[in-house]
C-alpha cells in the first residue's frame, strides 16, 4: 500500500488529513492553491493564496513528468511566491494513469480480510503485477441487489507514476500527504459550483469540460455521480500552433504572445474565432458520444474549465453550437478572499485552478 511504500499517508481515498496545499501539475503549468475554513458549520472557505507557474514545453508529456528537475523547480518557485509556511501537499494523477474498478465483496468482513479480498479481486483487472502498482480502495455502499454484498471502488496506479510526482514535490522541499486522481479532485471542487444552478442542479445532467493544453476531458454528472468520462486530443496547444503558423513565430514566441495578448489586429477573426468554433464542434462531438454510450439523451448544462475557458466569448460560442447553456467554472465564487488575493485576477485564473482547488479541499475531509 502507499503508506508502506513511502512511509507517508499517501492514499487516493483517505478520509482524514492535515492541512495541505493543492498542487496540480499539468502539461503547461504548475498550480498551487491554499484554502482555509472560515465557518465549519456552513463549509465557508477562504482562499488564502495561489500561484501559477508556467512549465517549459515537454517538461510534462501526456501527463507524465519527463523532466523531474524542471518540474520540481517550478513547484518550488510557485511555493516561494505564495509565501506560505505550509509544506504538506496533495497531488493528483491523470485519470489515464489510474485504473479504477467497482467490485462486489461479501459484507461484514474485518478490515484485514477486506483488504485481502480486494487485493485478490484487483489482480483480475490490473494488467500489471501487484508489486508494480500502488493500490487503494474505498467502500462505497451496500449492494442494491444483494444486502450480503458491498460495493467497493478500487484505484491502482503504477508505482513509477506515483513516485515521479512524489519526488518532484520532495525535491522542492514539500511533503506529499495525499495522492488523488485529477477527475476526483475536479469533481470535489465542482461541488462548490453547483450552487449556481437552480435547486443546486438536482436531477440535471451536467457536463464539466476541462480544456487543457494537450487534451480536453469531459466528465458528465447526474445528482453528484459521474456517469461518463471522455478524453479528446484537442486543447490550447492547437491555438498556439495556429498563432505560430499564422504570424511566423516560434512556438515559444507564440505561447508568450497568446498569454500576453500581443498579437496583430486580425488575430481575433483569423485565428481565435475559428479556434473557438472548432473547440465548440469538438465539445458537441463529445456530447454526441455521450448520448450514444449512455441512457441519457439530454445535457442540461455545460461548465468549461481549464486555461481556454478564460477566452472571452468562448462560452457563448459553445452555447450557440450546442444549444446548451454554457457557464465558466469558478470554484471560488462563494469563497472569501484573503487580503493577498486580487479578485479580478482570480476570476480570470479560476477556471484553470479547478483541480488544485479540489486538492486543497482535502484539508477539510471529515475525520
Sorted by where each starts, the structural domains of the chain and their CATH numbers stand as: 2-96+159-187+351-364 (3.30.420.40), 98-157 (3.30.1490.300), 194-329 (3.30.420.40)
Enumerate the H helices of the chain as residue ranges: 2-6, 68-82, 111-122, 159-171, 182-190, 236-247, 251-260, 267, 273-293, 314-322, 343-349, 354-360
pLDDT per residue as tens digits for the range 66-119: 999 999 999 999 999 999 999 999 999 998 888 888 888 888 888 888 888 888
* pLDDT given at position 44: 84
Whether 4 shows a pLDDT value over 80: the answer reads: no
pLDDT-based confidence at 149, cuts 50/70/90? confident
The pLDDT of 281-296, averaged and rounded, is: 95
Pick from 222, 259, 272: which is nearest to 352 by CA? 259
Grid cell 498563432 — which residue? 243
What percent of the chain stands above pLDDT 90? Answer: 56
Reported as a pLDDT band with limits 50, 70 and 90, residue 12 is low
CB 254 within 8 A of CB 245: no
Read off the pLDDT of each residue in 128-140 and give the average, rounded to a whole number: 83
Mean per-residue pLDDT, 188-198:
88
Distance of alpha carbon 319 from the chain centroid: 23
- The pLDDT assigned to 14 comes to 52
Task: Report whether pLDDT(2) > 70.
Answer: no
Indicate the average pLDDT of the chain. 88
Give the residue from 354, 307, 20, 63 showing the smallest Cα distance to 186.
354
Grid cell 442494491 is found at: 144
Provide the b/e sequence for 49-69 (b: ≥16 CB within 10 Å).
bbbbbebeeebbeebebebee
Amino acid at each position: 500500500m502507499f503508506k508502506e511504500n513511502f512511509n507517508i499517508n499517501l492514499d487516493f481515498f483517505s478520509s482524514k488529513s492535515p492541512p495541505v496545499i493543492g498542487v496540480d501539475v499539468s502539461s503547461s503549468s504548475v498550480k498551487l492553491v491554499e484554502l482555509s475554513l472560515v465557518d465549519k458549520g456552513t463549509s465557508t472557505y477562504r482562499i488564502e493564496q495561489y500561484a501559477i507557474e508556467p512549465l517549459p514545453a515537454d517538461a510534462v508529456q501526456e501527463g507524465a513528468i519527463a523532466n523531474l528537475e524542471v518540474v520540481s523547480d517550478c513547484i518550488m518557485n510557485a511555493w516561494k511566491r505564495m509565501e506560505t509556511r505550509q509544506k504538506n501537499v496533495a497531488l493528483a494523477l491523470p485519470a489515464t494513469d489510474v485504473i479504477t474498478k467497482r467490485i462486489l465483496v461479501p459484507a461484514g468482513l474485518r478490515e484485514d480480510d477486506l483488504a485481502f479480498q480486494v487485493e485478490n479481486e484487483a489482480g483480475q483487472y490490473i494488467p500489471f503485477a501487484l508489486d508494480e502498482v500502488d493500490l487503494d480502495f474505498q467502500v462505497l455502499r451496500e449492494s442494491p441487489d444483494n444486502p450480503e454484498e458491498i460495493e467497493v471502488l478500487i484505484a491502482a496506479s503504477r508505482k513509477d507514476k506515483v513516485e515521479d510526482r512524489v519526488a518532484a514535490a520532495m525535491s522542492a522541499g514539500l511533503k506529499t500527504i495525499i495522492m488523488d486522481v485529477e477527475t476526483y479532485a475536479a469533481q470535489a471542487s465542482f461541488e462548490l459550483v453547483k450552487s449556481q444552478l437552480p435547486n443546486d442542479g438536482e436531477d440535471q445532467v451536467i457536463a464539466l469540460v476541462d480544456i487543457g493544453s494537450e487534451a480536453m476531458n469531459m466528465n458528465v454528472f447526474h445528482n453528484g455521480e459521474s456517469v461518463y468520462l471522455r478524453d479528446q486530443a484537442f486543447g490550447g496547444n492547437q491555438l498556439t500552433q495556429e498563432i505560430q503558423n499564422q504570424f511566423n513565430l516560434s512556438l515559444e514566441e507564440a505561447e508568450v504572445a497568446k498569454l500576453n495578448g500581443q498579437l496583430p489586429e486580425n488575430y481575433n477573426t483569423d485565428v481565435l474565432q475559428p479556434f473557438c468554433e472548432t473547440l465548440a464542434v469538438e465539445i458537441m462531438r463529445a456530447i454526441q458520444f455521450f448520448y450514444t454510450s449512455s441512457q441519457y439523451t439530454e445535457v442540461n448544462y455545460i461548465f468549461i474549465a481549464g486555461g481556454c475557458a478564460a477566452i472571452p466569448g468562448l462560452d457563448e460560442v459553445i452555447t450557440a453550437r450546442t444549444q446548451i447553456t454554457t457557464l465558466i467554472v469558478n470554484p471560488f465564487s462563494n469563497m472569501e478572499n484573503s487580503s493577498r488575493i486580487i479578485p479580478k485576477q482570480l476570476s480570470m485564473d479560476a477556471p484553470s485552478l479547478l483541480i488544485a482547488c479540489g486538492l486543497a479541499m482535502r484539508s477539510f475531509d471529515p475525520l
